[in-house]
Structure 1
């Protein structure tokens, strides 16, 4: 009697996992999501900030949830959430899942998403079905929701935590997304980068009020 094969463990990275992949990856596929928004809308108490002065990191948000907010930061229709789907060596699936759960423990919830790409004719297709990912739902205690872009940029520019400076996280993510999909639109990331780099050249380091 043959045994059914265990379903491969695939995780979709849309933030730091793009530039700092999980261990024991045996293959990876780049692609994009539909129906989600990527925003710096999650507090970081343990990586890019502290409990007393949390930084900001990206999370996925269902587009309908984001649209229900105040509208001060709408999601442009031509923006796309690009990332990478990593397939983990089955031998290490449990170990890597524990590692990721710890890494994403600050308010994230596991969901499963279809990852899209394009075939040779340019048609949208699902390239990876049902990949696991971590989503910051609006009801989690670390969720910030929309903030004015200048205030958010200032927070990122100032914040730092055990994993390093918050702005370095932003810069690494922007560079990774540009390399991953040069044709992609991610107005939120690129607008934040512009503002934070301007702060680098214009302002002395100071505390946030």
Structure 2
């Protein structure tokens, strides 16, 4: 049976939450990471959702992350959790939050950088503050040698919001 690979581009980079046989830094082409997915169960609440990442199609984009090879006995658990030009691994599963509000009521969609920053700066859910998610993502991307301008810009904007609130 062929191996099952799952690609993580958000919190799965630093916290898989399932057993895996192998972990490889890699990328998917034709997509960019964006903070358009609402989190009402981990980094926010139904009344005030946090923002987490999903992927958005963009032809010239490359999204770096981590691919995990999942053993057959762990496949069900893993799938329930929400430099070369030749790919080392093909057929990797990638979760993308649908923009269709009927199938994905938590999809928040695009917003200005400042609006997203204000939301992330104050949202908190059972898994902790939304800022922790953003800052862990930034650090995890640095550890795998990746800089994502969307994440970098959002981190700077959130830090401005937080420092303004602390100075008030």
Same fold per TM (> 0.5)?
yes
Query: Aligned residue pairs: how many?
Result: 165
Q: Distance in 2 between matches of 1:53 and 1:166?
A: 11
1:85–1:205 distance in 2 versus 1, CA, 3 Å: farther
1:129–1:146 distance in 2 versus 1, CA, 3 Å: same
Give runs of ≥4 in structure 1 deviating > 3 Å.
none
Q: Secondary structure at the match of 2:21?
A: strand
CA displacement at 1:145 relative to structure 2: 1.8
Q: Distance in 2 between matches of 1:142 and 1:205?
A: 32
User: Within 5 Å, which residues of 2 pair with 1:1-209?
Assistant: 6-63=1-58, 80-98=62-80, 100=81, 104=82, 117-118=83-84, 124-139=85-100, 140-181=104-145, 184-204=146-166
Q: Distance in 2 between matches of 1:13 and 1:201?
A: 30
TM-score, length basis structure 1: 0.73
Unmatched 5+ stretches in structure 2:
none
CA displacement at 1:96 relative to structure 2: 2.8
Unmatched 5+ stretches in structure 1:
1-5, 65-76, 105-116, 119-123
CA displacement at 1:185 relative to structure 2: 4.0
User: Whose radius of gyration is greater, 1 or 2?
Assistant: 1
